[in-house]
A and B are shown apart, each in its own frame.
Chain A
Amino acid sequence: MTKTLPFRAGLLSMVILGIFLGAWHIATAGSGPVANIDPEYAKLLGQTATQGKSAMPGPLDVGRALWTHLRDPFYDRGTNDKGIGIQIAWSVARVAAGYGLAILVALPLGFVIGMSALISRALDPFIQIMKPISPLAWMPLALYTIKDSGLSAIFVIFICSLWPMLINTAFGVASVRREWLNVARTLEVGPLRKAFTVILPAAAPTILTGMRISIGIAWLVIVAAEMLVGGTGIGYFVWNEWNNLSITNVIIAILAIGVVGMALDLVLSRLTRLVSYPE
């Protein structure tokens, strides 16, 4: 019996995961008592020295911790002890706010740039200079002017989401096929109706590609930004657990960041497929 390709690929993924977890387990497992040490003294030294156990948690430790997190992801026991669900919700909310603002600015501005060769050329040097600036470099300026760490993080997300969306929107709008525009012209379609019924659908796949790049960057940046501003969010959570020396929680946070990032990308890729059209 021949299995389908997706089935075989899935099987291989499971095997790779199994090998990885196995290797991780063996690498971090204890090798038994190293030497005869006074039990009182051994307690002081900790398991790393006495049992040959690695300071790195094994997959079973992480699995157990993950289970407790998943059972109660939204608990809130003060500033430094919130459930991982709450922290992720904070991060996602900040990304949504900054990203949403970026859409509001990038789409109309991108339209104008794409439609007008003059404005496109005039704004190009600014965009070229702003684009390569690491979003975190804006942080001190944002903190100084906005004077609010939460809003500063949102601003940083805004600024890093802006460029891919802006550039793709402008490019998509500028490269709408001439013949489609001519169809609108011969039908005497007004400028606003033309923008919504011809240019927007024609440029939508390019715009969505830009938005997909943006959401990826935004999710990369939010973790770093929250490490800087502190207080809440998954970035702060990572930093806090590092200060608590809880490597287990750091690993769980890393996993959570990856899963959420993948989910965000999946949403945007679905949307892109929705507006794509075969020619």
Chain B
Amino acid sequence: MSERFISIEGIARAYPSASGVPVAVFEDLWFSIGRGEFVCAIGHSGCGKTTVLNILAGLDEPSTGVVVVDGKGIEGPSLDRAVIFQSHALLPWKTVLGNVAYAVKSRWPNWSADKIKAHAEKALGVVGLSGAEFKKPAELSGGMKQRVGIARALAIEPKILLMDEPFSALDALTRGTLQDEVRRICRDTSQTVFMITHDVDEAIYLADKIVLMTNGPGAQIAEIVDNPLPIERARAEVHKHPDYYAVRNHIVDFLVSRSRNFAEEEAARLARGVQRNNRHPPVVRPLADTIMPGATRAAS
């Protein structure tokens, strides 16, 4: 995890407010994602998660700071970074196959039509959509639409997968199935993933690291949770793991109270002489033997 495949270095994003003075949605964010790592970001609405993801995608730019991917600064969108949009963003006049083939053709413009079609069909097969190729998006259920979005993103074989609350609009059953599929595919292909969610269980099931963001404006990274669950995990089993409730309580506690009162918490720490370094947000690894959520052991 030492390699910084994606390195977010001191980014901030400000929007002009009603009074004319720009207000920073978030400031001085630093964190990195290693190659093949699955990182989730959690925080309340409006703290700037989507903005961070759009900056990673190259669809938006930070007011200050830079994002470095694989040694190069981001300059606009790239086929190396695929986005799965919250609203699926399928082109409604194209068929399911047409939507995926459009992405494939964008990736490999010189491929023959047959090769593009075969590749797109394969991607649809991976997400279990074989047979629905010639349907229009309007004829699909929410879960199927999101599957097409996933197939479209995976079909271009990106280096990085960016997902903005991809499952939030789905019913619990479909969400569970899609989580399983996404986890399987990402593990099989060692995909590097940055995903936004507000579902704590989803984050624990999928992520290696969970970035906790405080409330905006002026949101910060409160800490980075190092998921103590083993890499090999089954969705039906995760909640039986001894460390599961430690992680869960830690995150829920953060969302319920600490995300709001983070400034006071910070001031109290400062009074004790603990200086915060934004470049290295604290990394915590909540374990079962630590009873109180606040008393978690620091990770190595």
Interface residues in chain A, defined as those with a beta carbon under 8 Å from any beta carbon in chain B: 179-180, 182-183, 185-189, 197-198, 201-202, 204, 275, 277-279
User: Does A277 lie within 8 Å of B136, measured CB to CB?
Assistant: yes
Min distance, Cβ A198 to any Cβ of chain B, angstroms: 7
Binds A, one of B9-17, B73-81, B181-189: B73-81
User: Does B66 interact with chain A (Cβ within 8 Å)?
Assistant: no
In the complex, how many angstroms separate the beta carbon of B4 from the nearest chain A beta carbon? 23
Decide: A187 and B89 in contact? CB cutoff 8 A.
Answer: no
Residue contact A202 to B93, C-beta cutoff 8 Å: yes
* Residues of B with C-beta under 8 A to A185: 58-59, 76-77
Give B contacts to A, CB under 8 Å. 57-59, 76-79, 81-83, 85, 87, 89, 91-93, 102-103, 106-107, 136, 138, 156
B79 contacts A179, C-beta separation under 8 Å = no
Contact call B92/A277, Cβ cutoff below 8 A:
yes
Closest to B87 in A: A179
Q: Most chain-A Cβ atoms within 10 A of its Cβ — which of B81, B83, B106, B138?
A: B106
Min CB gap B113→A, angstroms: 15
Select from chain B the residue with minimum beta-carbon distance to A193: B106
Is there contact, CB below 8 Å, between A188 and B78? yes
Enumerate chain B residues within 8 angstroms of A186, measured Cβ to Cβ.
Answer: 57-59, 77-79, 81-83
Instruction: Choose from B76, B92, B93, B102 the contact partner of A187 (Cβ within 8 Å).
Output: B102
Check if A188 sits within 8 Å of B59, measured CB to CB.
no
Contacts of A198 in B (CB 8 A): 91
Inter-chain CA distance A275–B85, complex, in Å, is 25
CB closest residue in chain B, given A187: B106
- Given A185-B77, A278-B92, A278-B136, are A197 and B59 also a contact pair (CB < 8 Å)? no
| Contact between chains at A183 and B91 (CB < 8 Å) | yes
Measured between beta carbons, the chain B residues less than 8 angstroms from A183 are 85, 89, 91
Inter-chain contacts of B93 with A (CB < 8 A)? 201-202, 204, 275, 277
Nearest-Cβ distance from residue B285 to partner chain A, whole angstroms: 34
In the A-B complex, the 5 residue pairs with the closest CB atoms: A187-B106, A278-B138, A179-B89, A277-B93, A277-B92
Q: Are B106 and A189 in contact, CB atoms less than 8 angstroms apart?
A: yes
Minimum Cβ distance to chain A for residue B111 (Å): 14
Q: Which residues of A contact B78 (CB under 8 A)?
A: 186, 188
The smallest C-beta distance from A1 to any residue of chain B, in angstroms, reads 35
Give the distance in Å from the alpha carbon of A188 to the alpha carbon of B104 in the complex. 12
Task: Determine whether the beta carbon of B106 is less than 8 Å from that of A277.
Answer: no
Q: Which one of A183, A186, A188, A201 has the highest number of Cβ atoms from chain B below 10 Å of its Cβ?
A: A186
B77 and A188: CB pair below 8 A?
yes
In the complex, chain B residues whose CB is within 8 Å of the CB of A201: 91, 93
User: Which residues of A are found within 8 Å of B136, using beta-carbon distances?
Assistant: 277-278
- Could you tell me if B103 and A187 are in contact, using CB atoms closer than 8 angstroms? yes
Residues of the A chain whose Cβ atoms lie less than 8 Å from the Cβ of B138: 277-279
Q: Which residue of A lies closest to B81 (CB)?
A: A186
Q: How far is the CB of A202 from chain B (nearest CB, A)?
A: 7
Contact of B59 among A182, A202, A204 (CB under 8 A): A182
* CB-nearest residue of chain B to A188: B79
Q: Which A residues lie within 8 Å of B77 (CB)?
A: 185-188
Nearest chain-A residue to B103 (Cβ)?
A187
* Contact A182 B83, CB 8 Å, known A188-B77, A197-B102, A277-B136: yes
What is the CB-to-nearest-CB distance from A181 to chain B, in angstroms, rounded to a whole number? 10
Q: Determine the distance from Cα of A151 to Cα of B127 in the docked complex, in whole angstroms.
A: 60
Can you name 30 A-B residue pairings with CB atoms under 8 Å? A179-B85, A179-B87, A180-B91, A182-B89, A183-B91, A185-B59, A185-B77, A186-B58, A186-B82, A186-B83, A187-B77, A187-B102, A187-B103, A187-B107, A188-B77, A188-B79, A197-B102, A198-B91, A201-B91, A201-B93, A202-B91, A202-B93, A204-B93, A277-B92, A277-B93, A278-B92, A278-B136, A278-B138, A279-B92, A279-B138
* A-chain residues with CB within 8 Å of residue B58 when the two chains form the complex: 185-186
- Bound-complex Cα distance A92 to B87 (A): 46
Shortest distance from the beta carbon of B41 to any chain A beta carbon, whole Å: 19
CB < 8 Å neighbour of B156 from A187, A197, A204: A187
Q: How far, in whole Å, are A279 and B140 apart by their CA atoms in the complex?
A: 11
Extra A-B contacts (8), CB below 8 Å, given A179-B85, A201-B91:
A180-B89, A182-B85, A183-B91, A186-B77, A187-B102, A188-B79, A201-B93, A202-B91
Give the one of B77, B78, B92, B93 with max A CB within 10 A: B93
Give CA–CA (A97, B138) in the complex, Å: 38
Q: How far is the CB of A10 from chain B (nearest CB, A)?
A: 31
Q: How many Å lie between the Cα of A198 and that of B91 in the bound state?
A: 8
Q: Which residues of A contact B156 (CB under 8 A)?
A: 187
Q: Hey, which chain B residues are within 8 Å of A277, CB to CB?
A: 92-93, 136, 138
Contacts of A204 in B (CB 8 A): 93
CA distance A182 to B87 in the complex (A): 12
**Complex Cα spacing A180 to B152, Å:** 13
CA distance A164 to B82 in the complex (A): 39
